[in-house]
Amino acid sequence: MTVWEAVLLVAAGIVGGLAGSIAGLASVTTYPALLVVGLPPVAANVTNTVALVFNGVGSVAGSLPELKGQRAELTRLIPIGVVGGVIGAALLLSIPAEGFEKVVPILLGASAILIALPSRQRPAGTERSRAHIALQGLAILAICVYGGFFGAAAGVLLLALFLSTGSESLAHANATKNVVLGVANFVAALVFIVLAPVDWLAVVPLGIGCLLGSRLGPVVVRHAPATPIRLTIAVAGIALAIKLGIDAYG
């Protein structure tokens, strides 16, 4: 790997880490950057997953103020993320990606629209029905499976889910998303480290960039107006949905 390729990966990691910790769109820059430096698609995918572990570390560290008081919720959600990440990684190593690639643009477009709509804020202490909790858990599991399988825009899907099911605020929904998706990505990365062709020379610069960028994202969400951020995420999500749709169906 040349110096300029390493610089490119650091820069892609910074941008991806920032986008990932705010909107779950890290792979929009990190995955293509790995292709640009010459990695084949499968190696780029698994290398990207391993590097994004640093994105999870930075984004969770930046989200600590919003995570206070969420211990019970996270205790319920983290095992779901673990199971989803393992299943997704196993699927990547065993089946073709075409089926997922065709449904993701539809899910992503719908999620982007949901994010653009005003969210229902749930007052602290409000109880939810068991059916609501079960349905939310199944949806989170499906998204984490996709996150372990490929991961592009899995964060947008999770963010839309948490907003539509009554998170207290965009910042709280984003913090929860960072933890759950970080866990799913971490366990998928462990599987890939053991069983898949990880390019460690690419992981180092990309991971450093992701760590730097992801640490800033939650700070932006915390202090910036929620509506412009939601609309920006929605526009980016729709644009990515169109791009993935063209790739899948074109």
pLDDT at 125: 52
Each residue's pLDDT tens digit, 153-209: 788 788 888 877 766 677 888 889 899 999 999 999 999 999 888 999 999 999 999
**For the chain, domain boundaries:** 3-249
Identify the residue whose tokens are 């059916």: 131
Q: What is the pLDDT of residues 3-34, one digit of tens each?
A: 999 999 999 999 888 887 777 777 777 888 88
Q: Which residue has the tokens 């995420």?
A: 233
Supply the DSSP symbol for 119: P
Q: What is the pLDDT of residue 52?
A: 92
Predicted TM-score of the model (pTM): 0.79
Question: Would you place residue 82 in the very low, low, confident or very high pLDDT band (cuts 50, 70, 90)?
Answer: very high
